[in-house]
Structure 1
């Protein structure tokens, strides 16, 4: 039997249990509520990190495609500071811009757009020089042909030699150093324009081309058009009813407009647009410019309005430097002065660049050159002599070297610096650096090694 005091104790115990139950239930609810919040926070963190990872992966994969020299993309991004460009010490950096078809396009490596962007790094101005795709030139390790095939023959000779082979051909015509190259295809051209929201172009004259693949091209001169990538490509590629020279001028117009749009504040501050542009570059652009050098070019370009960009086409209409004629069964462009005679073109370019023309070139120096065979391959020195005669060297002699086991070709400069233009051209021709010495009756001695035999 429970007495009064016991009932009071039991009642107090029950009240405590009920209160403890309420407190525990409240804690469980709080814990359950926090558990849900925790899950949401964790999901947000995962989503955020996934977004960063996706962006980083896109940037990583794109950079790996663009730069084929083993650069670590994360190192690139972490150390992206502008660096001095080649040629900047002399006040001018020259970049070869090449445009070609898409990989599945017939003749995809034919570079139908060939343009040099010469950047004055002192006053932040630029000159665009377009060279006709049908220009007839001597192509290294191939012979005379249209310049738009130089890339193809360079790649056929050795994988990866296409850019340098084209660069050498352009440098021979203009007689200026070409420091860098960038090659883009049709898709890069179209997608880059679409990524920045299109470009505005005002044609200087009417353009009507009913022969363009995929439909008629029709633009009125003096009217401003907002062009997407596909329309801009048609405008830049059409040539059936005009000329290759006119097409080059239109390509320059589109490039200048794209540069203005791409470097605008709105474009650069849009992460999606930047990501799209990086992706486009990775899939469709190849260059030997390094990321820090690209950053430097961007910094210069931001200070360069369209009024500081001049453009010219080496043509027969305005400059009157070249003409068109048949060579074999092919229509080609070549200097008015004659095939391989570029002096007038070079004078014109020097004047535009406000550069003082060199007092002499290697042909004027008439250097005496001894070519020695450093191998057991009979006639190799004579082969080199014939090839250098084609380059314009006149005072050439041949002989045998002190040894026949030279694996690499050597150039030895005995002129004491008096034949610098000849040395520079020979270094470019053989792809090596000359050594200096004294004690020879010849200005220059070339010992051809086994490496020369494999190239010839």
Structure 2
């Protein structure tokens, strides 16, 4: 028997089946005051003097923000009320930034011209009135690059099975309420996401369903191009049952309630599609906010802030929010890139497909996801997932590049060529799966990369091309050559050829990135009892 604890599966479809121990019903931290159970009058019916002072202060701050924007403009408004917290609760006071990451240069001094990037952990929860309201229903890490004006969203499925300690484990979606119970707030979740991705976490934002609906409704709805029709017979209602949710494909205007269902529905499409829908909604919210000129509309600023204060937890201030808005207000949608960890690797592999679904018998009958190469007793195998995060955050447009990579091999290295194709697909390289492998009968001594480039007319792949730079990042020691024609690839087009020689076993091993910190919460056979 394994040494970690597994909770007996509940027949309740809404209850998290993988919690180690029962988490008692508790406040989410989003209310400004907790009332003892034996108090006769609730906090909704009676306000203390301190409560009234807090409300008065928030009202004055909101008015001051409006006046500041009207008189001085948004830049001065940041300075005027920049330290005002976006959320009403004090959970942000427990948050600890994670910056001690190998290879992270985010804390090096910045100039006005170079600001670098910041990572924001974003999570959605049900909140009050929803079964399992404290569990994270959606989870993503947003990399915001101030210099290139790009935002890269990396989604993490809520069913990912992770280690909580050396002898306990469960789904990642339970870490936030566990942290609240231990007065750690979001720190347990943030630490785990950083461990999985090997990325720093500078800020966090957790919003509940009501807050999400309020934002969409305050914007007057959002337009989304629904990629495929949704017909979900098992969309959860708030009465421990189900209802039907249907939405046609094509351009749709969604109100808050429909947008939430669009984001949460999971029974008519895959979890990969679900993550993509959530990312599409963030794009739509950004588009609508900018189209309304939020930064120059003090009434809208005040309305948006007031609509979500009680429904979110974040360390971000009003100043942070406006600063982000100003920095990225001219960003094109082509600079919002979306990726996810997923299990879509059947023949052709999707970017980020480093997960698989193990048998349910070992997990108390629950449906979970594990990293490839992970097992029931050793779940924290994140090496390839870390390399993926590092690559797409540095080269967010990688998936949009040309499908120009060819892998040249003889029969001896054919198996490795197929493995290289698979791994490049998983890393987000655009690969023409059917034509990517070119077989030759020639004897090749040395493994190298040959790229087409015609300097006279500036076409092809120079050293600064995104495909060349990304290949160099994952295999820096391989030699490269340049020419105006292909060595082995046939047909029209310009190619980057990965030519496998007799020394091919020394290259493209795809070992990923090992942990930069000691991991004391993994499983091993010695943990079993």
Which range, TM-score by smaller chain?
Answer: 0.5 to 0.7
Within a 5 Å distance, the mapping from 1:294-333 to structure 2 comes to 294-317=321-344, 318-319=350-351, 320-325=353-358, 326=360, 327-333=363-369
Secondary structure of residue in 1 paired with 2:369? strand
Q: Structure 1's 171 and 270: CA in aligned 2 closer, same or farther, altered over 3 A?
A: same
Aligned equivalent of 2:246? 218
Secondary structure of residue in 2 paired with 1:263? helix
In 1, the alpha carbon distance for the partners of 2:388 and 2:58 equals 50
In 2, the alpha carbon distance for the partners of 1:276 and 1:252 equals 24
Q: Structure 1's 87 and 330: CA in aligned 2 closer, same or farther, altered over 3 A?
A: farther
Q: Structure 1's 65 and 313: CA in aligned 2 closer, same or farther, altered over 3 A?
A: closer
Of 191-200 and 254-263, more deviation after overlay is shown by 254-263
Secondary structure of residue in 1 paired with 2:90? coil
Secondary structure of residue in 2 paired with 1:56? helix
| Correspondent of 1:281 among 305, 308, 313 | 308
Secondary structure of residue in 2 paired with 1:137? strand
How many residue pairs are counted as aligned between the two chains? 307
Aligned equivalent of 2:384? 344
Q: Does 1:92 align with 2:125?
A: no
Aligned equivalent of 1:150? 175
| Correspondent of 1:68 among 86, 90, 93 | 90
In 1, the alpha carbon distance for the partners of 2:308 and 2:516 equals 44
Q: Name structure 2 gaps, 5 residues minimum.
A: 1-55, 66-83, 94-105, 238-242, 345-349, 396-472, 477-510, 525-529
Q: Does 1:255 align with 2:282?
A: yes
Q: Does 1:231 align with 2:269?
A: no
In 1, the alpha carbon distance for the partners of 2:364 and 2:217 equals 42
Residues 163, 522 of structure 2: 8 Å contact kept = no
Q: Name structure 1 gaps, 5 residues minimum.
A: 1-51, 72-84, 368-386, 393-456
In 2, the alpha carbon distance for the partners of 1:98 and 1:109 equals 11
How far apart are 1:293 and its partner, in Å?
2.6
Describe the superposition over 1:175-200 as per-residue Cα deviations: whole angstroms up to 9, x where unpaired.
11111100000011101001011100
How far apart are 1:232 and its partner, in Å?
0.6
Residues 195, 276 of structure 1: 8 Å contact kept = yes
Of 116-125 and 102-111, more deviation after overlay is shown by 102-111
Aligned equivalent of 2:207? 184
How far apart are 1:91 and its partner, in Å?
1.8
Aligned equivalent of 2:485? none
In 2, the alpha carbon distance for the partners of 1:333 and 1:54 equals 43
In 2, the alpha carbon distance for the partners of 1:88 and 1:97 equals 26
Aligned equivalent of 2:139? 114
Aligned equivalent of 1:8? none
Aligned equivalent of 1:173? 196
Aligned equivalent of 2:273? 246
In 2, the alpha carbon distance for the partners of 1:87 and 1:261 equals 34
How far apart are 1:247 and its partner, in Å?
1.2
Residues 135, 146 of structure 1: 8 Å contact kept = yes
Q: Structure 1's 65 and 127: CA in aligned 2 closer, same or farther, altered over 3 A?
A: closer
Residues 86, 179 of structure 1: 8 Å contact kept = no
Describe the superposition over 1:384-403 as per-residue Cα deviations: whole angstroms up to 9, x where unpaired.
xxx848489xxxxxxxxxxx
Q: Structure 1's 312 and 177: CA in aligned 2 closer, same or farther, altered over 3 A?
A: same
In 2, the alpha carbon distance for the partners of 1:389 and 1:230 equals 39
How far apart are 1:218 and its partner, in Å?
1.8
How far apart are 1:365 and its partner, in Å?
9.1
In 2, the alpha carbon distance for the partners of 1:63 and 1:179 equals 16
| Correspondent of 1:334 among 358, 370, 373 | 370
TM normalised by structure 1 equals 0.60
TM normalised by structure 2 equals 0.52
In 1, the alpha carbon distance for the partners of 2:57 and 2:190 equals 38
In 2, the alpha carbon distance for the partners of 1:366 and 1:182 equals 24
How far apart are 1:60 and its partner, in Å?
9.0
Of 189-198 and 281-290, more deviation after overlay is shown by 281-290
In 2, the alpha carbon distance for the partners of 1:290 and 1:86 equals 20
Describe the superposition over 1:56-76 as per-residue Cα deviations: whole angstroms up to 9, x where unpaired.
2656999474463899xxxxx
